Every structure is written in C-alpha cells, then in structure tokens.
Amino acid sequence: MPVILDVVKVFFPATLAFFIGLVLSVALSHYLYEYKMWKKKSGKIAPDGRETPIFNSLHKDREVSTPKMGGIVIWLSTFLTISFFWLVAHFFPTSLTGKLDLLSRNQTWIPLLTLILGALVGLVDDLYEIRGGGGHIAGGLSLRKRIGIVAIIAFLCGVWFYTKLGVVSLGVPFLGDVSIGWLIIPIFVLVMTAVYSGGVIDGIDGLAGGVFAIMFSAYSIIAFYQQQINLASFCAVIVGSLLAFLWFNIPPARFYMSETGSMALTITLSVVAFMTDSLGEGHGIFVLPIIAFPLVITTLSVIIQLFSKKMRNGKKVFLVAPLHHHFEAIGWPAHKVTMRYWVFSVIFAIIGVTVALVG
C-alpha cells in the first residue's frame, strides 16, 4: 500500500500540472498575441559577435511573428500545482493530503527556488529582448551577464549544499562516494553553467520541450528509486507542465519557450542532479552527461564551431551551430530533427537511469 501511495504522489500531481498548464497556455497565448510579444527585428548573433545568415534564412520569418515567453507555462503551472497541494495539506490536514504535499525542506525547496529564480531572470531577458534591447538583433541580456548570473546562483547553491546539507562527496558507480570537500562548490558552478549552456537547444518547434521532459522523467525515476518521493514528484510535475507546453509548441509552435523556460529548466536540472547524488546515496552527477547528452552535444557543437572559426581562419565544421540547426541547413525538415532528438534522448535517458540504478 505505501508503494501505491508513492506512485499516486508522483503521477497525480503531474497530471494536474498538465491540465493547469493547458489552461494557462490558452490564457497566455491570447495575451502574448494581443500584445505582440515577439522580437521586433529578426536575426541572431553568434557568440563570437558575427551574424548568422544561414540561421536567419531558416527562421527569420517565424521570429517576428511567434511570441516568446512560452516557458511561463512550465514554471508557473509547476509552482501552482505544488502550491495547491501545500495549501490543501495545511488547510485540510489528513493523512492523504499530507501525503500529497510534495513541498519539503530536505528535497524540494532548493529545486523549486532555483526554478523560480531562473525563470524570473530569464523573463527579464525575454522582456528586454522583446521591448527593445537597444534595437539591435541580439537583444536581451548579454551572454556574459546571463552566465554570470547563473554562476552566482550556482555558487550560492554550492555553498548551501556544503555548509547546510554537509555534501562533501560525489557518487561514482561501483566505487561509492568520493570525498572532495569544499571543491563541491566550484564543481557546482561548473556543472550548472555547463548545463545552462545547453539551453541553446531551444531553437526548433517542440525540440527543447520534449528533450527536457525526457530528462526530468529520468531523474524522477532515479529519485523514486532512492525513496526521495517528494523530489520524484517534483520532477514529474515539471514533466506534466512540459507536456502542456508541448501541446502548444509542437509544429507549428504557438509560442517559444525562450529564456524564461530554458534558464529555469537547466539550472533546476543541475540541482536535481546534485540532489540525487550523495544526498540520495546515488550517482546523479555522474549520469548527468549521459541523461543530458543532447545538451552536451549541443554545447560541444557551438564550442567546436567557434574554435574552428578562430583557429582555421573562419572555416566552419558545421554549416551552422548549434548542431540541430546544422541538420536543418543540410535539408532535414524541422519535425524530423525534433523527433530524432526525442528518440536520441530516450535512449540516453535509459542508459543513464540504468547506470544510476545498477551502479
């Protein structure tokens, strides 16, 4: 019976989050289109400051007609779902309502806080880009500023894990916990900024939403196995919210996730990985590059492209980076790129979960 209740605690809030997300999507979509919440000037600037003519030729029309900030659906429906069960448990205290309350200090406070904090910073970036950003193509906060903000958030999380939660080791499959002491703090910064850099996967209708749903599903399974049921439910709620977002983001997208969604999800994924590591007597960090491999190859493709252009007098490895846009440029339809990434993500999620559970 307790196992059944744990399963209900994971799936019921996730289902509610999905339906809350659908309702929010309808209202948000109406608002975004009424107030024309999209870029006023099409085009993109590469990290090296150059323009990206191939990308612009592929996406310039949609950029100035499809709203940004669709990620609001994800984090707001997650927040509302968690708040609903917390309020019900406090105003109508029973064993059942208490069981369904997934907000706990030792498992979900930090992930929820990072989700909302990342969402708000990303929202500011989106608004800045939509409302002007100096009137240039790039718009928004600079990449350096965004990475700096993420690094600060990561540093604070690392300090909290080290000083308050006593995390001083990382789990390695078949070896157990490896003590690293205070180095957990710079590792936290490195991991979170690296995962955040993979947020550029948000570039094709349905791509990021599906990939993130698969990754959080994987960590929900890992957390459930570790008996971190609140954390497992939290990840599942995010998945439910992502599925509601995907309902409106599959081609042709009604709106884009943009920074308010991608920043929230990437930094929260990092925190969840640390939560399922030594705290859960597991290997959440070790399997992160496996489960998040689509983000890894996305970031690597950008790094490789920049390095090649710098060291080889402007010569490129890919027609355009990140990698998913390269596939578009060579003639793959966008929906084919998206669905193959989904398949790719499922395979690596299975591998990552298997390593986490067996190791």
Task: Give Cα separations from 99 to 5, 85, 128 (angstroms).
Answer: 8, 9, 41
307 within 8 A of 48, measured Cβ to Cβ: no
Q: Given 3-state DSSP classes, what are the helix, strand and coil percentages for the chain, each rounded to the nearest 5? A: 70, 5, 25
pLDDT band of 137, cuts 50, 70, 90: very low
CA distance 131 to 33: 14
Give 24 or 139, the one with higher predicted confidence: 24
Residue 65 region, left (φ>0) first, then alpha (ψ -120 to 50), else beta? alpha
> Angle, nearest 10°, between helix axes 72-91 and 229-249?
140
Q: What average pLDDT does the segment 302-309 reach?
A: 92
- Phi–psi pair at 172, nearest 5 degrees: -120, 125
DSSP string, 252-300: SPSS--HHHHHHHHHHHHHHHHHHTTGGGTS-TTTTHHHHTHHHHHHHH
Map tokens 């939290």 to a residue: 234
| CB-based burial label for 246 (10 Å; 0-12, 13-18, 19+) | buried
E strand or H helix at 92: none
Asked if pLDDT for residue 33 goes beyond 60, the answer is: yes
Asked if pLDDT for residue 63 goes beyond 90, the answer is: no
AA letter at 182: W
Q: What average pLDDT does the segment 70-93 reach?
A: 97
Percent of the chain's residues with pLDDT above 90: 77
- The whole-number pLDDT of residue 135 equals 41
Task: Give Cα separations from 34 to 66, 67, 172 (angstroms).
Answer: 12, 10, 51
CA distance 298 to 202: 10
- The pTM of the whole model exceeds 0.75: yes
Q: Which residues pair with 176 in a beta bridge?
A: 172
Q: What average pLDDT does the segment 116-140 reach?
A: 79
Asked if pLDDT for residue 11 goes beyond 60, the answer is: yes
Q: What is the pLDDT of residues 222-281, one digit of tens each?
A: 999 999 999 999 999 999 999 999 999 998 899 999 999 999 999 999 999 999 999 988
Q: Which residues pair with 164 in a beta bridge?
A: none
Average pLDDT along the chain: 91
Asked if pLDDT for residue 47 goes beyond 80, the answer is: no
Asked if pLDDT for residue 56 goes beyond 90, the answer is: no
Give 51 or 135, the one with higher predicted confidence: 51
Q: What is the pLDDT of residues 82-106, one digit of tens each?
A: 999 999 999 999 988 999 999 998 9
Asked if pLDDT for residue 141 goes beyond 90, the answer is: no
188 within 8 A of 155, measured Cβ to Cβ: yes
Asked if pLDDT for residue 19 goes beyond 90, the answer is: yes
38 within 8 A of 130, measured Cβ to Cβ: yes
